[in-house]
Structure 1
């Protein structure tokens, strides 16, 4: 009997020593890419809480259908502390590729609710007190925690909330990126946060937020991410169809064209509108150089350009914030005296070539069937991204728009302003 007890004890010790269970404080580094999501639903005015909850459910659904193991971390800033998350919370999900998430069979059907998903998640809560989710200190803390919880070969980041592109959120009625009870983070500050938080470039940053698909944003992020996925338009509140696109985002070589296509197919099915493009941020310097050279060559024609002839991407107070990069140069070329289409295409070939390298995927819903509050996209003039035109003319900026605020901030803080050559033109 004593011998049996001794053998049993020895067996337990051996099995424990051979166990592959990783202590919680020392997670194993996972091969491949880990996807991170930073979602802010505590929005002033129009809350995205219900829509972002549905996004999390869709992400969870995708994980349950994955055929390979993968990791998803979601930081969720809830709307005024509503249940089931009373505080900002980092949720971790580990899918084994066999239908299990966090060692439990993936939820389906009526059991698949946001509350249930939150219960299954491994969680860390943040008190934050008076701090906000768009505070650079808070963001860096969360991104550091994410990497501690899930060490990985590489990361891709989804940023979901309200947004308004490069525009400073406190100087004009805009949101920059994020809206935590009216507070946001400007894009240069966001670029610094990402640079400080990650030792290597992110594989991608996906903006599930309005109007981030601009040259200004892509250029600002060139040192922090390899690719930027975004829409130059306002985006429908439903966001991206994560149950469809998340598997692509885990692929070693992401099919970015498929991501754009799935997004537009989803919007089309739901009678919505939209654009989507993917910028190769390593090519943004080259694009800036091409834009700068052409602006310098045709600067005398700037004053005669009618911006009404250029495809633009905003509505209401955002109507003048972003114009199609290539379509702008088509109009500028015409004002420079180029009449024939073949001659014009040849004249703007340098910008077109740079765009071909910088915009690696794009898709849009074009035509009057996809009218958004009076804005109709012409697919034949859609290059994928837009840019602001900081020239002071009275033919496209009405008196009720504080465009001087836009120009002042643009000149002082947005790197694209100098890189693209606007500063060299001595515009007032």
Structure 2
């Protein structure tokens, strides 16, 4: 009789295994990793690659030697299958080769469709709402925390992006592209701050051009660390089968995360940069930049911007310059000529960068040229920043960029640009 009841219980539980349970789950120790992926963009340009990313995350889970949880919100390309609606998928591995109580898929059985099939799921109809709407994002992040209460969270954001720039302007995407709609970075920072009671352990941007001082500064109250590239990110994204185990570690090896990303791009004959910002140090970096800009402001109009490492291509060319390389050039124009003197003169900025950028890696040299941008590894500090039209002739016609930067981006004031004498 007991055996019959046990068998019946197993059957009932198995039948419900693809639905997120209604009852409050027990809180798990350690970190839960969350992913917010948006593929509903022009012609589904990222759909194939984001699907592959989910498969790679699943592979990593299957290889974990400890139990852990992964939640993936996936906004599919309109009319796509197997997910007809935006869906929150939950995956739990026991650390013994099982995901959601089933042996890990492999070989020909390992497909996006199969991975979605075993996921515990919650669908969102959204109607006219979009995945970059702050209300929608907050709802999903709240649901994630209900599904998987945890000591802490790390967040992966995957989609198109264009750094600090305003969405729906100058062909910009800010973060996310859901049928052309985006969320601006100050608004994203507010969503994260309002959605989580504690700072996120990290935010990883699997998206273009997010590795800037402006982005890191906006996120300083929402996350401890920001992982991003200052350049455009190849569509393949991060190699999650390699990096996900690092993201579950109590003390994340951020240097290894950067190295794996850059090594993956090198293997695939691509380009790439990756850096990790300690967002708690962005105030200190802003102060160092502000002090040096004030000290050398008379030389700003003399800076030869063509001599500074820049990271943008196409319509985004000149959106971001290497922070330290800019001060090297500014120092030369200020009269600090000797290399030893120059290094000493910019030591305050270098010191602040050493604290703010805790890991970095890049593919440097002409073999990794991307649309005319060649990274000089000896000049790569990890992150970039915008140089306004008053001091940069290359953006003199970027009215929308400059106006939005001054009105909405906190770094503009924190770094002291607004205090400079423009005469």
Residues paired across the two proteins, number = 413
46 and 78 in structure 1: CA distance in 2 versus 1, 3 angstrom threshold: closer
37 and 23 in structure 1: CA distance in 2 versus 1, 3 angstrom threshold: closer
Partner of 1:372: 370
Match of 2:120 among 109, 122, 127: 122
How much has 1:81 moved relative to structure 2? 3.0
Equivalent pair of 2:303/2:391 in contact (CA under 8 Å)? no
- TM-score normalised to structure 1 length: 0.94
Partner of 2:403: 408
Match of 1:78 among 63, 76, 79: 76
SS of the residue corresponding to residue 344 of structure 2 reads helix
Equivalent pair of 1:391/1:427 in contact (CA under 8 Å)? no
How much has 1:425 moved relative to structure 2? 0.9
How much has 1:396 moved relative to structure 2? 2.4
How much has 1:170 moved relative to structure 2? 2.3
Partner of 2:32: 34
Equivalent pair of 2:57/2:240 in contact (CA under 8 Å)? yes
Q: CA RMSD in A?
A: 1.9
Rounded Cα–Cα distance in structure 2 between residues aligned with 1:288 and 1:96: 44
How much has 1:390 moved relative to structure 2? 1.1
Equivalent pair of 1:308/1:396 in contact (CA under 8 Å)? no
Rounded Cα–Cα distance in structure 2 between residues aligned with 1:50 and 1:90: 18
SS of the residue corresponding to residue 369 of structure 1 reads helix
Equivalent pair of 2:168/2:180 in contact (CA under 8 Å)? no
Equivalent pair of 1:301/1:332 in contact (CA under 8 Å)? yes
Rounded Cα–Cα distance in structure 1 between residues aligned with 2:126 and 2:99: 28
Show CA shifts across 1:24-57 (max 9, x none).
4120100000000000000125610000000000
Runs of 4+ in 1 over 6 A off after TM superposition: none
Rounded Cα–Cα distance in structure 2 between residues aligned with 1:280 and 1:173: 30
SS of the residue corresponding to residue 390 of structure 1 reads coil
Equivalent pair of 2:388/2:395 in contact (CA under 8 Å)? no
- TM-score normalised to structure 2 length: 0.95
Show CA shifts across 1:9-38 (max 9, x none).
9x98xx99xx9x997412010000000000
Match of 1:418 among 402, 413, 418: 413
How much has 1:244 moved relative to structure 2? 0.1
How much has 1:213 moved relative to structure 2? 0.1
Partner of 1:188: 186
How much has 1:318 moved relative to structure 2? 0.8
Structure showing greater radius of gyration is 1
Show CA shifts across 1:107-165 (max 9, x none).
01110000000000000000000000000000000000000000000000000000000
